Amino acid sequence: MPQTVNVSFLPELSSAKRYVDRTTVVIDVLRATTSIVYALASGARQVLPCVHVAEARQLAAEHGRQAVLGGEREGRRIDGFDLGNSPTEYTSEAVRDKTVVFTTTNGTQAMQHCRLAKRVLIGAFVNFSAVCDQLSQEQHVEILCAGTKGQITREDILLAGAYAQELHQGRGGRPAQLDDQAAIAAEAWSRVRADFANGTPLAQSLRDSSGARNLIEIGLERDIEIAGQIDRFDLAPELDLASWAIRLP
């Protein structure tokens, strides 16, 4: 039986039932999933994703001094939080051996959509190959793009397409079958990959997205370059669905 790869461009475009017993990778390139990878790479014990700000504050209070509050609304750090949603804020000095309680506008909400999944991996360009290796071992793969406030985002589609193309080309030893959204994403990635191979930085392509324009507008342009670094980390964080905590295997 061939491997299958399905992509959802937005949580709103798929039912939660779609993810039942499927391995799913959640994508929010700008910036939630990128920041989560950075936090764990910097030695955070775990990341606890929350939908609401009040929920995050309460959870942080329960963890006391071991907690670091991180996240954003409208792209900016939430009042009273220790960190925002810029990947490079999640340094070893800030998060090592800490529990990061994390809430964002889009990414942490997309994770809620996957509660019925078999596995939930956290994907970004910065850990692309590590996640690909995990996906290549699975029979059925779902890729969920977080988008931005119910709108499809270019950067998430490109990463979804990169995963889809790798699996379609047989990374797991067999060519995967792609659904229509996966094929569309793979075609978009193919065009950007050709530019990338010819020396155009990936970050340049990411700058064309609405999410990137929002970051530029609020002075966080550097985050686009960070998010466009492929394979900076050999890590595949996974959301433990029982404890609702993201950790490294």
In degrees, rounded to 5, the angle at the alpha carbon of residue 98 between the alpha carbons of residues 92 and 104 is: 90
Instruction: Report the pLDDT value the prediction gives residue 197, as an integer from 0 to 100.
Output: 83
Query: 238 CB contacts (<8 Å, ≥6 apart)?
Result: 119, 120, 121, 122, 246, 247, 248, 249
Measured distance CA(24)–CA(12) in Å, rounded: 16
Domains: count for the chain = 1
How far is 242 from 9, CA to CA, in rounded Å? 26
Q: How confident is the model at residue 40 (pLDDT cuts 50, 70, 90)?
A: very high
Residue 174: both structure tokens together: 């067999």
The boundaries of the domain holding residue 174 are 4-247
Does residue 45 register a pLDDT over 90?
yes
Task: Output DSSP code: residue 114.
Answer: T
Looking up residue 65, the CATH number of its domain turns out to be: 3.90.1560.10
Confidence at 245, pLDDT banded by 50, 70, 90: very high
pTM confidence score? 0.97
Residue 172 has pLDDT above 80, yes or no: no
Residue 34: pLDDT band with limits 50, 70, 90: very high
**pLDDT one-digit tens code per residue, 78-100:** 999 999 999 999 999 999 999 99
Q: What average pLDDT does the structure give for the chain?
A: 96
Helices 210-217 and 154-168 cross at an angle (nearest 10°) of: 140
C-alpha span between 207 and 223 (Å, rounded): 10
Region 103-118: mean pLDDT is: 96
